[in-house]
């Protein structure tokens, strides 16, 4: 029996559930991924937004409570939008629609790695014993704390600042680790193996963007504008604000049927509270307060970095 062939594919992290509110977008983007297909993307997305609640109601897709992951029997409205879907529940549903579900291991490469997985990969490459690996992992963590190795948000893969990066969660890239090794004068470099005939970026699909972590310029201005001086003209040309340009996860499209860009909210907030930024200053505690008020899901994903956060 031959393996089923799929016209499309969609990648998610094996360690995370998919938000129901993101599913229509993710499916439409899997089928119409390029900017040239935006018209078809929007039509497909709107159709799916109408169709998916009916599929859940008729028992064609199981959704779960995000708190305890228990199955929801009759979800609707806000309860349905906040529900989540586990990968093993989602895979057969997508397969019926010609979409392959690909699972990305969390922080296991080839492009993004947790600190502990990076240390384990170097151990295998250099034939270190466990004591050397543990010491190297500590050195990686300390270097990341000092800002010598950029660390990245697991949700967006964008650089973030963290006073205490966790070895099992935040991500690094082989290129950044190798740059640090070179500065340390190490006699070796991290050689990431990829399947023969493929580039590093082709070896595994990129993680699907988490759209709950993104926002349009209008939403960002609504949240931070009055306290930071942010306005729409900032986003028309971001050459003078490279940190904003770096925060763009999905580029916008011009024209009658165009779409605004989507930016990583946490990266934008970090830019706004940077004391070195020119213009109207946004106090750090105010930035966190506004983030919590306007983007509670983003805040929840990063609350451990909030200097005012207490357990």
Q: What is the mean pLDDT of the chain?
A: 84
For 7, residues 6+ apart whose C-beta sits below 8 A from its C-beta are 31, 98, 99
Is it the case that residue 194 has pLDDT exceeding 60?
A: no
pLDDT digits (tens, 9 = 90+) for 45-103: 999 999 999 999 999 999 998 877 788 888 888 889 889 998 888 999 999 999 999 88
Residue 308's pLDDT band (cuts 50, 70, 90)? confident
H or E element in which residue 1 lies: none
* pTM across the whole model: 0.43
pLDDT at res. 111: 82
| Cα torsion angle, 205, 302, 260, 241, sign | negative
Using the structure block, give the residue that is written with the tokens 């600190």.
115
Exposure class string for 207-221: b at 16+ Cβ within 10 A, else e = bbbbbbbbbbbebbb
21, 217 contact by CB (below 8 A): no
Using the structure block, give the residue that is written with the tokens 């946490």.
266
Residue 64, token pair as written in the block: 């779960």
27, 21 contact by CB (below 8 A): no
Q: Which residue has the higher pLDDT, 263 or 16?
A: 263
pLDDT digits (tens, 9 = 90+) for 200-229: 444 444 455 677 888 899 999 999 999 999
pLDDT at res. 229: 92
């Amino acid at each position: 029996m031959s393996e089923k062939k799929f016209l499309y594919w969609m990648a998610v992290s094996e360690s995370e559930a998919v938000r129901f509110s993101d599913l229509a977008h993710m499916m439409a983007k899997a089928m119409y991924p390029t900017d040239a297909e935006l018209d078809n993307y929007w039509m497909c997305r709107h159709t799916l937004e109408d169709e998916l609640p009916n599929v859940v109601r008729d028992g064609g897709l199981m959704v779960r409570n995000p708190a305890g992951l228990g199955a929801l029997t009759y979800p609707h409205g806000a309860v349905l939008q906040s529900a989540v879907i586990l990968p093993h529940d989602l895979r057969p549903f997508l397969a019926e629609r010609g979409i392959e579900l690909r699972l990305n291991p969390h922080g296991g490469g080839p492009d993004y790695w947790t600190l502990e997985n990076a240390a384990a990969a170097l151990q295998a490459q250099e034939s270190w014993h466990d004591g050397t690996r543990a010491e190297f992992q500590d050195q990686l963590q300390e270097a990341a704390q000092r800002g010598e190795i950029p660390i990245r948000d697991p949700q967006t893969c964008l650089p973030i600042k963290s006073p205490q990066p966790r070895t099992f969660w935040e991500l690094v890239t082989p290129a950044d680790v190798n740059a640090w090794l070179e500065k340390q004068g190490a006699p070796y470099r991290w050689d990431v193996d990829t399947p023969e005939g493929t580039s590093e970026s082709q070896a595994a699909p990129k993680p699907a963007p988490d759209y709950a972590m993104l926002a349009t310029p209008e939403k960002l201005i609504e949240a931070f504008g009055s306290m930071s001086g942010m306005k729409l003209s900032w986003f028309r040309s971001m050459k003078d604000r490279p940190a904003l340009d770096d925060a763009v996860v999905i580029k916008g499209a011009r024209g009658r049927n165009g779409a605004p860009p989507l930016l990583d909210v946490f990266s934008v907030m970090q830019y706004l509270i940077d004391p070195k930024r020119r213009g109207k200053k946004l106090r750090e505690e105010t930035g966190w307060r506004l983030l919590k008020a306007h983007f509670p899901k983003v805040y929840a994903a990063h609350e451990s970095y909030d200097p005012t956060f207490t357990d």
